[in-house]
Amino acid sequence: MSTAKQAAKKSDVHVEEEEAVDEGATEASTDEVSTESASNGKPRKRVTAETLATKQREISVSEFFAKNRHLLGFDNPRKALLTTVKEAVDNSLDACEEGGIVPELWVHIETMGTNRFKVGVQDNGPGIVKKQIPLIFGKLLYGSKFHRLRMSRGQQGIGISAAGMYGMLTTGKPVKIISKTSPRKPAHYFELQIDTKRNLPEIINGKGEGEDIPIGDKGHKYIAERGIEWVAHYPSDEGHHPELKSGTRVTIELEGRYYRGRGSVDEYLEQTAIANPHVTIHYQDPEGNETTYGRSTDQLPPEPKEIKPHPYGVELGRLVTMIKDTHATTITQFLTESFSRVSPSVARKICETAKISTRANTKRIARQEVDSLYQAIQDTRISAPATDCIAPIGEPLILKGLHHVVPGEFYCAATRPPAVYRGNPFVIEVGLAFGGASAAQKVPLDSLTEMLGESDARTLRQFLMSSFDGIGSAGSEAILAESKMGTRQSPGRLSKEEITRLHQAMRNVNLSEGQTMQVLRYANRVPLQFQPAACAITQSVIGMNWRSYGLSQSRGQLPVGPVTVMVHMASVWVPFTSESKEAVAGYPEIARELRLALQTVGRKLAMYLNARNRVKQEGERRSIFLRYLGEVAGAVGVIRDYDEPRRKNLYEKLLGVARKKTAEADIKFDDRGRKVAEDEIDLGENVLIVRHDAEPHAK
């Protein structure tokens, strides 16, 4: 009996095991079906770690930016054309100033086809040695400015080589460079492209070595025969044309779109002339029109000096790397040699706070000790960095630059004392011009016709607001109402008669009442033309209460009035919000200095406007007095039975009283903002007032 039970029990166990196997097989088959159904009936291949490893490779920086060129400002054809000119001009100005040469630039843009242009920028700088030319123009992240702390326009070593890469990607044409270092040495000519996979230049001409151009007449003949573009002589009104002793010219053919108005090459060069009054620019646009922006001074800005990093601007990770790479043997020697404003006594104080020996070996210092050292640096009082590494424009030259380019009746400027953010010194400068006519009222009829034809705006209202600085919603509606045109009309479909009406309305309508403030933003003398809303400069201007200074302003908007404000930030390292260098980041220290500088020029503007309004009001009072003085004198003469001489004498006395009571109507200002009278009004230094009856003279 027991044997039968055991056999039955074994049989049950066997059955249970088979059922379990069947269930497992069923689940496995279900998984296989789902895998097959997900891959259209084919079994999915499992990828091993070894297979994945074979697909990994290093990404070249030029290959990355070729796919992400929008990060560098090449996100649309219009912006790409401007960015190319901007990067070449910035490099030329830096080279000239470092060489101690008063800059003279030639900017040529030539139409090569539909949406294709050839951009040539040449300078009279010191030139470039042959070995460096391919690396400067054919390799990204290569330059002399990234690792040094001194003010310069370029910072990253990307711009001009990225412009050449964009030209190669869109047209397939190489970048052409000619550089001359001396009239007694041959010039060097290269045609090159960027190998984006290796981030290295590929030299096309001269069997991969470039070409040397002979000096003298042979060189001129060589250039002419090969069609190499080069301006050999300075322009001159006199018969003598001096020859360029040195310089560099870069030519890039690229896909782009040329527009006038806001955000254009024309506007960029005009704004560059304001912030760089020592520069002469000869500009030829794609239509062959030539414009020269002449310099207003021959004085070069002072040369900035390179400084060491300030301890407050170094983060913990950077401090660890610096200690690892230093050749100093002791921690005190490291602190005094690697940082600015750290004397032996300051270094000793830092070590005492960190509880580290001043003789501690830099090669044996532990990570915890580095943490203590970093915290001790933050807790130790260290002087602000030196400011001779910065070359601000200066208030007198800001006034000259603004008056040279921006029309107006009142100009003032203010330069703040140097300040520091993250250990980097910087200076904020502000210039203000009041009373100028809107750009819309100065545009010629033929230029307006071309702008309408080239515009991508959908409506006339959008065209007016996006093409001209200072025209807001009210101004555009006033122009359209005057021209009897609809706000929804398309700019590209206007007839000649409608364009003429629009042009006439733009000249006749008073735009000063609805004109919004024009803000010119600069960083290290370079105009910033895009992303204004993301920029700390624009945010500071909008955040100001301009009503306190005599201007109308709605909440969260730019003030209204014929005002142009120029704001310049000079620093050893400008904190841009992106690689395209279009907006300044809003550090609290920077925002504070911006606010204080704007308040300074705002107070000067308010004083001028108040004085002008008083003159106007007293003039109106006097006109009312003069209107009735004759009748009053006559009536009194009749009552008192005065003869004609006594009546005239009474009139003269009443007239004297009226003039005395309205004496402010006779006030006139000189060109420095001071009253031409015994009782002067003090508008402060660096003020320029333009009298329409005479040219102002600089003091």
Model confidence pLDDT, tens digit, residues 127-138: 999 999 999 998
CATH for 372: 1.10.8.50
Angle at the Cα of 94 from the Cα atoms of 589 and 153, rounded to 5 degrees:
25
Q: What is the C-alpha to C-alpha distance for residues 245 and 107, in angstroms, rounded to an integer?
A: 19
pLDDT exceeds 70 at position 30: no
Q: What is the dihedral of CA 316, 317, 318, 322, to 10 degrees?
A: 100
Q: Name the DSSP letter for residue 526.
A: E
From 386, 387, 307, 393, select the one nearest 97 (Cα to Cα). Answer: 393
Higher confidence at residue 589 or residue 439? 589
Rg (CA), the chain: 35
User: Is residue 327 domain-shared with residue 426, that is, in the same domain?
Assistant: no
User: Is residue 183 domain-shared with residue 246, that is, in the same domain?
Assistant: yes
Q: What is the C-alpha to C-alpha distance for residues 269 and 277, in angstroms, rounded to an integer?
A: 12
Q: How confident is the model at residue 35 (pLDDT cuts 50, 70, 90)?
A: very low
Q: What is the arithmetic mean of pLDDT over 67-87?
A: 85
Percent of the chain with pLDDT strictly greater than 70? 82
Helix, strand, coil % (nearest 5) of the chain?
Answer: 45, 15, 40
User: Is residue 360 domain-shared with residue 234, that is, in the same domain?
Assistant: no
- Domain limits at 490? 439-508
Reported as a single tens digit per residue, the pLDDT across 633-645 is 778 778 888 888 8
pLDDT exceeds 60 at position 18: no
| 569 touches 428 (CB < 8 A) | yes
Q: Is residue 21 assigned to a domain? A: yes
Residue 645 pLDDT? 83
Q: What is the C-alpha to C-alpha distance for residues 580 and 593, in angstroms, rounded to an integer?
A: 24
Q: What is the arithmetic mean of pLDDT over 207-235?
A: 90
Instruction: Give Cβ neighbours of residue 38 (< 8 Å, ≥ 6 apart).
Output: 44
Residue 622 pLDDT? 66
Higher confidence at residue 346 or residue 450? 346
Q: Is residue 514 assigned to a domain? A: no
User: Is residue 183 domain-shared with residue 240, that is, in the same domain?
Assistant: yes
User: Is residue 203 domain-shared with residue 324, that is, in the same domain?
Assistant: no
Instruction: Give Cβ neighbours of residue 560 (< 8 Å, ≥ 6 apart).
Output: 472, 513, 514, 515, 516, 517, 551, 552, 553, 554
User: Is residue 283 domain-shared with residue 407, that is, in the same domain?
Assistant: no
From 352, 698, 394, select the one nearest 570 (Cα to Cα). Answer: 394
> For the ranges 218-232, 522-536, 613-627, which has the lowest average pLDDT?
613-627
Residue 393 phi/psi, 5° resolution?
-65, -45
Q: Is residue 299 assigned to a domain? A: no
Q: Is residue 300 assigned to a domain? A: no
pLDDT exceeds 80 at position 623: no
pLDDT exceeds 80 at position 674: no
Higher confidence at residue 668 or residue 95? 95
Q: Is the dihedral of CA 259, 260, 264, 266 positive or negative?
A: positive
Within a 13 Å sphere around the CA of 175, how many CA atoms are in the beta-carbon half? 30
pLDDT exceeds 70 at position 155: no
Instruction: Give Cβ neighbours of residue 31 (< 8 Å, ≥ 6 apart).
Output: none
Q: What is the C-alpha to C-alpha distance for residues 547 and 337, in angstroms, rounded to an integer?
A: 51
Q: What is the arithmetic mean of pLDDT over 592-620?
A: 84
Reported as a single tens digit per residue, the pLDDT across 41-75 is 667 777 888 888 888 877 777 777 777 777 777 88
Q: How confident is the model at residue 604 (pLDDT cuts 50, 70, 90)?
A: very high
Residue 505 pLDDT? 79
Q: What is the C-alpha to C-alpha distance for residues 431 and 611, in angstroms, rounded to an integer?
A: 20
| 254 touches 84 (CB < 8 A) | yes
Q: What is the C-alpha to C-alpha distance for residues 139 and 683, in angstroms, rounded to an integer?
A: 52
Q: How many domains does the chain have?
A: 5
pLDDT exceeds 50 at position 610: yes
CATH for 576: 3.30.230.10
Angle at the Cα of 152 from the Cα atoms of 149 and 157, rounded to 5 degrees:
85
Higher confidence at residue 614 or residue 374? 374
CATH for 274: 3.30.565.10
User: Is residue 136 domain-shared with residue 189, that is, in the same domain?
Assistant: yes
> For the ranges 10-19, 64-73, 139-148, 446-455, which has the lowest average pLDDT?
10-19
User: Is residue 16 domain-shared with residue 101, that is, in the same domain?
Assistant: no
pTM of this structure? 0.71
Length in residues, the chain: 699
Q: What is the C-alpha to C-alpha distance for residues 541 and 520, in angstroms, rounded to an integer?
A: 11
From 150, 136, 171, select the one nearest 248 (Cα to Cα). Answer: 136
Higher confidence at residue 84 or residue 618? 84
User: Is residue 502 domain-shared with residue 577, that is, in the same domain?
Assistant: no
| 348 touches 380 (CB < 8 A) | no
Greatest Cα-to-Cα distance within the chain, rounded to the nearest angstrom: 165
User: Is residue 594 domain-shared with residue 696, that is, in the same domain?
Assistant: yes
pLDDT exceeds 90 at position 683: no
pLDDT exceeds 50 at position 199: yes
Q: What is the arithmetic mean of pLDDT over 449-469?
A: 77
Instruction: Give Cβ neighbours of residue 115 (< 8 Å, ≥ 6 apart).
Output: 77, 255, 256, 257
Q: Is residue 654 assigned to a domain? A: yes
Q: Which long-range contacts (CB under 8 A, 24 or more apart) does 448-453 make?
A: 448/499, 448/502, 448/503, 448/506, 449/499, 450/260, 450/287, 451/259, 451/260, 451/261, 452/491, 452/492, 452/494, 452/499, 453/492
| 248 touches 128 (CB < 8 A) | yes
| 668 touches 654 (CB < 8 A) | no
Residue 671 pLDDT? 44
User: Is residue 219 domain-shared with residue 350, that is, in the same domain?
Assistant: no
pLDDT exceeds 70 at position 393: yes
Work out whether strand 187-195 and strand 419-421 pair parallel, antiparallel, or are unpaired: unpaired
| 517 touches 431 (CB < 8 A) | no
Percent of the chain with pLDDT strictly greater than 90? 35
Instruction: Quote the strand ranges of 374-501, DSSP E.
Output: 410-415, 419-421, 424-434
User: Is residue 469 domain-shared with residue 431, that is, in the same domain?
Assistant: no
* 533 phi-psi bin (left φ>0, alpha ψ -120 to 50, beta other): alpha
pLDDT exceeds 50 at position 697: no
Q: Is residue 491 assigned to a domain? A: yes
Q: How confident is the model at residue 29 (pLDDT cuts 50, 70, 90)?
A: very low
Q: Is residue 537 assigned to a domain? A: yes
Q: Name the DSSP letter for residue 678.
A: S
pLDDT exceeds 90 at position 664: no
Reported as a single tens digit per residue, the pLDDT across 227-256 is 999 998 888 766 677 889 999 999 999 999
Q: What is the arithmetic mean of pLDDT over 392-404?
A: 87
The mean of the pLDDT values for the chain is 82
Q: What is the C-alpha to C-alpha distance for residues 189 and 246, in angstroms, rounded to an integer?
A: 14
| 204 touches 191 (CB < 8 A) | yes
Alpha helix (H) residue ranges in 172-256: 216-226
Say how many C-beta atoms besides its own lie within 10 A of residue 591's C-beta. 18
| 86 touches 268 (CB < 8 A) | yes
Q: Is residue 305 assigned to a domain? A: no
